[in-house]
């Protein structure tokens, strides 16, 4: 019973501190929360929580604030996540449904999540390593130029222009387009080298140099495009919560500028397949992010996560609300990509 009661006390301290940004004392807990015990019992529970490292006392106050360990316990014991309201869900759906292509979808998603959470939002582009090719298009541009367009099942589009040494026979481009799509459409990118290498054998000897060049362009483009990248929005929100950081927000901003830091963190969080993942404070394993928390989850079509989306803010964040927002935007983003 005492453990359950102390968890209630910890939960009350976290909720009050997130809302007020003021250290929480026993008198405040008695006044604001129906904990059903005496002030003396609450003080004893707070002492036990402090000894266990779940709360700490700032030197300027008699109240207590949660530690990283305390936030972790709070998040792990969250029993209910308040769902978004029907108007909020409709607004998300409509805002994302109006996107015209993948870049627009990602841009809208990151701005939307930042607005919902009033924190930094991060969206990782769908990984080409786990994508499949939807269509390859070959478009003649004049007599000696060929546009190669690669479209993945996530809506990602890559295009390259191929300069030819001489005009190509009229029938070759349509035949090559048809054979390429028959061989590679729907296949994962990692499975493409073999069918692409076999492609030239279906053509006459005089046409094979062109086939080899097109295949090489496709392979080189996919190799270049495997570089992962993220899009971020809402860094200005950190300035409004500047007092949450002990000295300055500069280390946080510098860490956010390094995409490799965010990609590494998202990759580590992707190893946890249990839905929404929360990294708190020093769990982020980057000095610049030691006073922040990162809430992220996967998104993608057909029930498989192709990339991740998340929200980053001070450890003093509304965890339940952030989790609900991240999960909701990821769900709608997945629906769009699956469609």
Closest-CA residue to 138 (of 103, 100, 102, 179): 179
Q: pLDDT by residue (tens digit) across 275-313?
A: 889 999 999 888 889 999 999 999 876 666 778 999 999
**What would the two tokens of residue 288 be?**
């610049």
More confident residue, 168 or 154: 168
Which residues does 243 contact at the CB level (< 8 Å), separation at least 6? Answer: 21
Q: Is 265 exposed, middle or buried (0-12, 13-18, 19+ CB in 10 A)?
A: buried
Rg (CA), the chain: 26
On whether the CB atoms of residues 319 and 293 are closer than 8 A, the answer is: yes
Instruction: Please name every residue paired with 64 in a beta bridge, in sequence order, or none if there are none.
Output: 24
Q: Structure pTM?
A: 0.78
Residue 251 has pLDDT above 50, yes or no: yes
Distance CA(47)–CA(174), nearest Å, equals 77
Q: pLDDT by residue (tens digit) across 101-149?
A: 888 989 999 999 999 999 999 999 876 666 778 889 999 888 888 999 9
Residue 155 pLDDT: 72
């Amino acid at each position: 019973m005492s453990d359950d009661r102390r968890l209630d006390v910890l939960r009350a301290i976290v909720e009050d501190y997130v809302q007020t940004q003021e250290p929480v004392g026993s008198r405040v807990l008695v006044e604001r929360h129906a904990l059903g015990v005496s002030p003396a019992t609450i003080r004893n529970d707070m002492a036990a929580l402090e000894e266990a490292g779940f709360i700490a006392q700032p030197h300027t106050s008699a109240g207590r604030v949660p530690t990283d360990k305390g936030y972790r316990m709070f998040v792990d014991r969250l029993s209910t996540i308040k769902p978004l309201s029907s108007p909020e869900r409709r607004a998300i759906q409509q805002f994302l449904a109006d996107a015209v292509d993948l870049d627009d979808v990602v841009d809208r998603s990151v701005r939307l999540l930042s607005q919902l959470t009033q924190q930094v939002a991060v969206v990782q582009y769908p990984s080409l390593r786990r994508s499949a090719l939807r269509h390859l298009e070959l478009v003649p541009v004049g007599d000696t130029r060929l546009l190669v367009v690669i479209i993945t099942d996530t809506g990602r589009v890559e295009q390259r222009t191929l300069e030819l040494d001489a005009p190509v026979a009229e029938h070759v481009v349509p035949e090559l387009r048809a054979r390429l799509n028959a061989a590679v459409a729907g296949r994962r990118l990692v499975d493409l080298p073999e069918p692409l290498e076999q492609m030239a054998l279906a053509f006459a000897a005089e046409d094979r140099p062109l086939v080899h060049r097109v295949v090489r362009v496709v392979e080189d483009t996919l190799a270049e495009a495997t570089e992962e990248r993220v899009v971020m929005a809402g860094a200005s929100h950190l300035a409004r919560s500047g007092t949450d950081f002990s000295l300055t927000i500069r280390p946080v901003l510098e860490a956010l500028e390094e995409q490799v830091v965010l990609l590494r963190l998202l990759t580590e969080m992707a190893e946890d397949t249990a839905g929404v993942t929360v990294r708190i404070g020093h769990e982020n394993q980057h000095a610049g992010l030691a006073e922040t928390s990162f809430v992220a989850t996967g998104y993608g079509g057909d029930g498989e996560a192709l990339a991740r989306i998340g929200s980053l803010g001070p450890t003093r964040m509304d965890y339940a609300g952030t989790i609900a927002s991240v999960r909701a935007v990821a769900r709608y983003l997945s629906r769009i990509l699956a469609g």
